[in-house]
Each structure stands twice: as C-alpha cells, then as structure tokens.
Chains A and B, each alone.
Chain A
Amino acid sequence: MARKRSFKSHALPTLLTYLGLAVGLVFAGFPILWMVFSSLKSNTEIFALPPRLLPEVFTLQAYVTIFNDPTKVRFFLNSYFVAGVVTALTLVIAILTAYGFSRYNFRFKNVLNIFIISTQTVPPITLLIPYFGMVVAFRIFDTYLALILTYMVFTLPYAVLLMTGYLNTLPKELDEAVLVDGGSSWTALWRVIVPVSIPGIVATAVYTFLLAWNEFLFALTLTKSMDLRTVPIGIQLLMGQHAFEWNEMMAMSVLGSLPLLVLYLVAQRYFLAGMTAGSVKS
C-alpha cells in the first residue's frame, strides 16, 4: 500500500514530465535537425526513400558552393552590415531615450510612452506603401540607407522599452552621486549608468540585431539590385531560381541562422535576465 502510494506521488509524475519533455524536444528539435543534416547531404539524397535523418555520405558541397559564389557571400555581408549599423544606431538613441524616461518626469511623458508602445503594433504593410513613396521621393530607393532608416521604426520602440525597463531597476542614487559631485546628468549616464547596464544593453543589442537580421518585407520592396539583397531575400531568390537545390538552400538557412544562434547562446544569460527584469518587476 505504502509503496503503491509513493509510486503514485513520485515516479509517475516524474515519468510523465520526462515523457512530455521528450515529445517537446522532438517537436522543437526535429525540423531543425532535419535542416542541418539536409545541408550536409548531396542533393540526390534529400528525398531518399526510406527517409534518413543522417546523410549516407556527409558532404560540405552545399557550403563550398555558397562560399564560392560572390553573390551569395554578398547577401551575408549585406545582412551583417545593415543589422550591425541598425543595432549601433538603435542602441545609442534608445539609451538616451530610456534615460530620459527612467530618470525624469516631464509633460507628454505618458503620451510619448503610449505612442512608442502603439508603434510596436503598427502593421509593417501599412507603413510599407508610404515608405515606398518616401524612399523614391528622397531618391534613396535601392540603398543601404533606405533599409537602415526604415528598420529603425521597428527596432527603436523595443529597444527603448527594454532599456527603460532595465534602467528602472538601477537605483537612482547611482546618478545622484555624480550630480552631487558637480557632474552633469550626461556624465552620470555615460560614466556610471551605461557601464552598469551592460546586461541590459547586451540583451537589447541581441534583440535588435535579431529583428534587423530577420526583416523581410522592407528588404524585399525597398531594394532591387542583387548587390543590396539581404540573406532572407537571397534565400527567396535562390528558391525561385533553383527550386530543387534543397541542400544549398538548407546550407543558406544554417548559415543564416548561425549568427543569431551564436549571439543567443553567448548572451543567453543576459538575454533572459534582461528580457524579464522589467516585465517581472513591473
């Protein structure tokens, strides 16, 4: 009787937990594994019957093809450049704004706050049409500038909210110490607040980079020459051109996901801490 009861209260729930996690792992992981191993197959093996997860012959052929094609390498360079610049600009502007929000009360603060929150939810397709008109009118159609500028509209609101959430967790005695010593709020921000905000800044940077790296709609519409295409558009074009080179498309996908994966793993601790700091505390 006692044994039966202890089985019921411990072993069974534990077993079910592990079972649930195993199902979850297959659900989350199988498509990703399939992508990775497909990129290491030769194209004839992609639809082999019966299907095999692991390639019969491992080959890096798909990767070699990509690295030997300057057009495809350029997709990656473009994505790194655009996402990098967007991240840097977004961070500087977001830190300034977040400092204003976190350390001061001013008129229009609530209005501005609501404006920034609602900006996050404006459908990109609604903005795309006037952006197209603006970009053509300003003669920046098919330039990096068109992408960098328009990407800021969706990276900035998140970055401001993330950074404000983080700065709100820092005691204001930190900047007051600088002010008492006769320093300005500007000095306090860059000398004291920014150095202790590194976790929040890293989290914001990773998230901003992710948003910019993944963007599709604006890149599709506001650029047109191959020299300016980013990775997502590159994959789309590859799909149209050679619909059957699956191993190469999977290799592009692996390479296209790699920077986000690396950033996420490196910054994981900061990322989740930074992401939850404001949300839980509020």
Chain B
Amino acid sequence: MLMTRSAPAIAAAPIRTRRKASAGTKLLRKLTPYLYVSPATALLVLLMLFPMIMVVRYSLMDGAIMKRDAAFAGLSNYITIFENPVFWQSLWQTLYFTVMSVVFHLIIGLAFAILLNSNRIDPLLRSILRVLFILPWLFTAVIIAIIWRLLLDPNGVVNSVLMALHIIDFKVEWFSSTKTAIHALTFANIWAGYPLFMVSLLAGLQGISKELYEAAGIDGANEIQKFWYITIPQLMPIIISIALLDFIWTMQVFPLVWMTTGGGPIYSTEMLSTFTYKLAFAQYEFSLASASAIIILILSMSVTYFYIKHQQAR
C-alpha cells in the first residue's frame, strides 16, 4: 500500500538514449514501451473503464439487469436516493466511522512508531515488537469481525473485565444496541487499521536527519519542542498521504459491518456500502443501487483528487 507513494518516481523514470537504427527496428522500438504496458492497460480497461460506463448507464435506467428492455429514467434514481433518509443516515455514519478511524489510526500509529523508533530499548526486542505490532493488519476483515464479536459478546471477556473494574454495572450488548454498535464497530476498525500508519511513519522517522535534532538540542529545544517543530513537520507529507488513502479505504468498509451488525440494529450502523449492497442484492433494485454507487464513487474520487495532487506535488 505504501508503494502508492512511489507514483512520482514513475514520472521521473530515466529517459533511454538509443543508437540510430533502420526504420523497421525504429518503429518496433517506438512501440516497445506500449507493448510492455498493454496487458495491464487492456485488463484495466476491461475491468475498470468498461464497468464504470455500465454502472453509469444502469443508474440512468429504470430496472437495470432485472428488466430486459429497461427504459431511460433520467436522474430519477438519484432523486429517489437523495429522498431516502436511510441514505443520509448511512452517509453521516460512514463519515463518523471514517473520520474517527483515521484520527485514531494516526494517533496510535504515530505513538507506536515513535516508541518503536526509540533507541532506549534493546534492538532485538525492538525488531520482535515491530513484527508483533503489525499483526492486526494481517487479519482478514471477516476474522477481525468475529474476534471482536467474541470479545464484545454480552457474556464475553470485555464485559467481565469492565464489570470487575466497576466501569459498567450490567452486561452491555455492544453490537446489538443502537447506542453502542457504531462505536464498537469503529473501535474494532481502529484496532485493525493502525499498522498502516505505524509502518509508514516508522519509515518516515528513520528518514529524518539526526542533525536536525542535534541542532535543535544545541539551541536549547526540549523534547516536546523537537516533536512539534521537527518530527511532525518532517512527517507531514506521509501523514497527509496515508490519511487520505486511509480515508478512502475506510469509507469503503463492508465485510466488518456485514459480519458484525449487518447495518443494524435499526440502521444504526448502516454504511454507504451496506446500504448500496442491500439495494442491489437484497432488493434487486440495481438501478437505485447503481445511482448510490455512483454517489459513493464521486465522494471517493473527490478525495482521490487531493491524494493525486498531493502525490504529484511531493
């Protein structure tokens, strides 16, 4: 995932200098780069461009996929979506879930990166911890979902511990109460997602020149000042990149919700993705679902626009 940041490196690839050759080989040479990139391009056109055109078409029709001769319906599907209060609820819940996740991924990821970068601890221990701290990232969303369903079960260990500590005085049904479900879900996602920030920021920390800290030390800066005036500004490009990527990906959350709450109870954890999925594959309203999917795409693309701008500026 980190390699997405290598994008500018592509643009800066070396220019080849070549010797003069006959017209035939010249043509072949001109075509060579296109031949190398053609399989990927063809596949992405088939699997990306073509489906995009289809989904836009579906969203403008009435009864796409289900009806043989679906009629043109203009923007009526979009209007139906915008008039649906569940759509708006899903939108706000998705934003809450996403913003909270990204903020805590950043805080936890940064804290762990700084701790793991510390030279106060034994190098061997440090490299073992580095591996252990990445582990949550390796788990499938489905598995994360059922681990947290077990931990947060009304009879589960989290409730037992919280009751023993007198933080709560009854068994909370974390995933089945409209009050707590979205927070439980967000917490599980925070647990699963911080390592992306941690790994990138750790690489970033190791790239900060020690001389900067030494110079600041000579000028009498304390640790907190060094953190705010050196570490954070130096890490800023990485923080922005990863935050935008994390935002885009977290917004697309599906399996975690599907496997814990399914969007319930009473829509309290409905996300844009589950809302759209249900429209398509539970109600077979493919045209409405397509309109909703296009709205998600536009939201996602507007964040992507800033992401690419930021990448190219780096």
Enumerate chain A interface residues (CB-CB to B < 8 A): 13-14, 17-18, 20-21, 24-25, 27-29, 31-32, 34-35, 38, 46-47, 49-51, 93-94, 96-97, 99-106, 109-110, 112-134, 136, 149-150, 152-153, 156-158, 160-162, 164-165, 168, 172, 185, 207, 210, 213-214, 216-217, 220-221, 231-232, 235-236, 239, 246, 249-250, 253, 256-257, 260-261, 264-265, 268, 272, 275-276, 278-282
Q: Which residues of A contact B277 (CB under 8 A)?
A: 125, 128, 217
Q: Which residues of B contact A220 (CB under 8 A)?
A: 258
Contact B115 A21 (CB under 8 A): yes
Tell me if B8 is interfacial: C-beta within 8 Å of chain A.
yes
Given A14-B121, A101-B10, 14 new contacts (CB under 8 A): A13-B120, A28-B133, A100-B35, A100-B36, A104-B13, A104-B32, A129-B289, A132-B65, A172-B16, A210-B138, A275-B3, A280-B203, A282-B7, A282-B9
Q: Which of A105, A214, A279 is in CB contact (< 8 Å) with B203?
A: A279
| Distance, CA A157 to CA B143, complexed state (A) | 25
Q: Which of B11, B48, B136, B142 is in CB contact (< 8 Å) with A113?
A: B11
Tell me if B297 is interfacial: C-beta within 8 Å of chain A.
yes
Give B102 Cβ to nearest chain A Cβ, in Å.
Answer: 14
User: In the complex where A29-B132, A156-B43 touch, is A106 in contact with B140 (Cβ < 8 A)?
Assistant: no
User: In the complex where A21-B115, A217-B254, A257-B140 touch, is A103 in contact with B14 (Cβ < 8 A)?
Assistant: yes
User: In the complex where A17-B115, A34-B151 touch, is A96 in contact with B300 (Cβ < 8 A)?
Assistant: no
Give B52 Cβ to nearest chain A Cβ, in Å.
Answer: 8
| Distance, CA A236 to CA B149, complexed state (A) | 12
User: In the complex where A29-B132, A123-B297, A250-B150 touch, is A185 in contact with B142 (Cβ < 8 A)?
Assistant: no
Contact A257 B9 (CB under 8 A): no
| Distance, CA A121 to CA B286, complexed state (A) | 22
Q: Which residues of B contact A153 (CB under 8 A)?
A: 43-44, 47-48
Contact B44 A116 (CB under 8 A): yes
User: Most chain-A CB neighbours within 10 Å: which of B51, B132, B286?
Assistant: B51
Q: Which of B39, B148, B273, B280 is in CB contact (< 8 Å) with A93?
A: B39
Contact A104 B36 (CB under 8 A): yes
Contact B3 A279 (CB under 8 A): yes
User: In the complex where A101-B10, A235-B143 touch, is A96 in contact with B161 (Cβ < 8 A)?
Assistant: no
Pick out which of these stretches binds chain A: B79-87, B152-160, B178-186, B226-234: B152-160
Q: Which residues of B contact A25 (CB under 8 A)?
A: 129, 132-133
Q: Which of A35, A104, A118 is in CB contact (< 8 Å) with B33?
A: A104
Q: Which of A14, A213, A280 is in CB contact (< 8 Å) with B140?
A: A213
Contact A272 B3 (CB under 8 A): no
Q: Which of A236, A272, A280 is in CB contact (< 8 Å) with B259?
A: A236
Contact A165 B9 (CB under 8 A): yes
Offer 28 A-B interface pairs, CB within 8 angstroms, sorted by A: A17-B120, A24-B111, A24-B115, A27-B108, A47-B156, A96-B36, A102-B14, A103-B14, A121-B245, A123-B251, A123-B273, A129-B55, A129-B58, A129-B286, A130-B54, A133-B64, A152-B47, A153-B44, A164-B6, A216-B140, A216-B141, A231-B140, A232-B143, A250-B147, A260-B139, A264-B134, A278-B6, A282-B6
